[in-house]
Amino acid sequence: MNYSLNDPFKMDFESLEELAEMISQVLECPVTIEDANHRLLAYSTHDERTDPARIATIIGRRVPEKVINQLWKEGTIPALLSTKEPIRVKNMDEIGLGHRVAVSIWKQEEVLGFIWVIEIDKTLTEEEYSLLKKAAESAKNKLLQLQTRKNKKEERSQEFFWKLLTGHLANHEEITGNFHSLQITPASSYSLLVFQFKHNISGKIEQNISYLLTTNQRFKIMLYTIDSNQLILLVSADNIRHTFEELNYFVRQFVFNMSERYGGNEITPVYSSIYYDYGKIKHAYHESLEVLSIKEKFPEETKDIHTYQKLGIYQFFDILLQKRKSNDFENYSLKLLYQYDQKHNSNLIETLDVFLTKDANINDAAKELNVHANTLNYRLKRIAEIGEVDFKDPNQKISLYIDLKLRKYQNMQHL
């Protein structure tokens, strides 16, 4: 049939599935329709010709993460997010992707979704490109209806999550009922994640965040919300063998993708311990905020620490500081070294701090201080003499390390 003289998509389709079938019939190719986060909305069913990527998408109801990552690397998705014209996608055997043409579904300046057409035994013509653009226009209203329903559900999710975060909802049966009313299956174990951005999260950045969270296939994200410059997630810890290792990978990958794909984001990620009682989400939230607070005060020492479990001695700084104040204690060795530094304009305290922070590793400490190892050894001898420090005594080294950090912590509190 010749569709060039009219618009075959200028009609009221009952569903996206009906539209997908019509596009497939007009273009004589298999078709899939996705939302902006690559979740499958509809696909043509009367054509057995396909490729592995499409099969995996239909089975999983969303595009596989490896396919999404490759399409970003190849520039396909960035192109779809910047033009209303159809984009030709080359064959990528390594991810099971055959030749196809894709077009974005737009509402003004926002992308609502995508239509993908697999070219099997044919190549779409310019005329068929025009028809595909008309199909995208026809799909817009259906996607807007889905978006409205999604936004209402998200509002309910946000309210529920904040009740959990603030401790206003602690009854087990009530919490479970809320999960089920939102069609969310609560995991038996969970962790709370907080990503702190340098600036408040704008609407555009929020869209980018939503995209990364939805296309993630490593962790099940049950709830999430945004508070000024913080993204807060509730994720399932079920069926994860090495939970903290996997969480570390997830937070680092999220930060990397935000920077690599969207640029200019300074993000500090942290996460809580593993919890089993949803009545303790408030505690998990404050635990994560405490890690952020310590990381702000000790950025260098804690740059590779993302969880409360790994904070070590930093977990107890408030208690230790209170004890030091209550008995008016002053570390005698540090007092002598501070006095020497002030009198001779030297940096023995800094040298000691770096040396202990680097776990008494001469080479690492010398590199951090940008001095030769022999120079560092000389300074350490002076520190031992002036401060009466025995570097072979682990108790004294631990005490010096704690008191150095406590002094820094106390100074930060006064800022």
| pLDDT band, residue 414 (cuts 50/70/90) | low
Nearest residue to 136 (alpha-carbon basis) of 124, 126, 128, 125: 128
For residues 113 and 139, is the Cβ–Cβ distance under 8 A? yes
**What percent of the chain shows pLDDT beyond 70?**
97
The candidate with the shortest Cα–Cα distance to 356, out of 376, 371, 385, is 376
Question: Could you tell me which residue, 26 or 47, shows the higher pLDDT?
Answer: 26
Query: What is the SS3 assignment for 195?
Result: strand
In sequence order, what are the residues at sequence separation of 6 or more whose Cβ sits closer than 8 angstroms to the Cβ of residue 225?
A: 158, 161, 162, 165, 231, 232
Residue 75 is given by DSSP the state T
Distance of CA 53 to the CA centre of its chain: 25
- pTM for this one? 0.71
pLDDT category of residue 118 using cuts at 50, 70 and 90: very high
Closest CA to 99 of 115, 121, 82, 72: 121
Integer-rounded Cα Rg, in Å, for the chain is 29
Calpha distance 401→353 (Å, rounded) = 7
Q: Where are the alpha helices (DSSP H) in 125-202?
A: 126-165, 172-181
Whether the predicted pLDDT of 270 surpasses 50? yes
Element holding 104 (H helix, E strand): strand 100-107
Check the CA dihedral 157-162-163-164 and report its sign: positive
Cα distance between residue 303 and residue 259, in whole Å: 17
Question: What percentage of the chain has pLDDT greater than the value 90?
Answer: 59
Handedness of CA 339, 342, 346, 349 (dihedral sign): positive
230 contacts 197 by C-beta, under 8 angstroms: yes
Per the CB < 8 A criterion, the answer to whether 16 and 42 are in contact is: yes
Mode of pairing for the β-strands spanning 190-197 and 230-236: antiparallel
Helix axes 348-357, 332-344, angle to 10 degrees: 130
CA distance 210 to 51: 28
At 153 the pLDDT is 79
Write the single-letter amino acid at 247: L
What does the pLDDT read at residue 364? Answer: 92
Residue 60 and residue 84: Cα distance in Å, rounded?
A: 27
- Cα separation of 191 and 176, whole Å? 17
Instruction: Determine the Cα–Cα distance for residues 282 and 276; give it in Å rounded to an integer.
Output: 13
Q: How far apart are CA 241 and CA 130, in angstroms?
A: 50
Tokens of 15: 């569903």
pLDDT in tens, 297-345: 888 888 889 998 888 888 887 788 777 777 777 888 988 999 999 999 9
Sheet holding 100-107, edge to edge: 40-43, 31-35, 110-118, 100-107, 87-89
| pLDDT tens digits, 180-236 | 999 999 999 999 999 999 999 988 898 899 999 989 888 899 999 999 999 999 999
The size of the chain, in residues, is 415
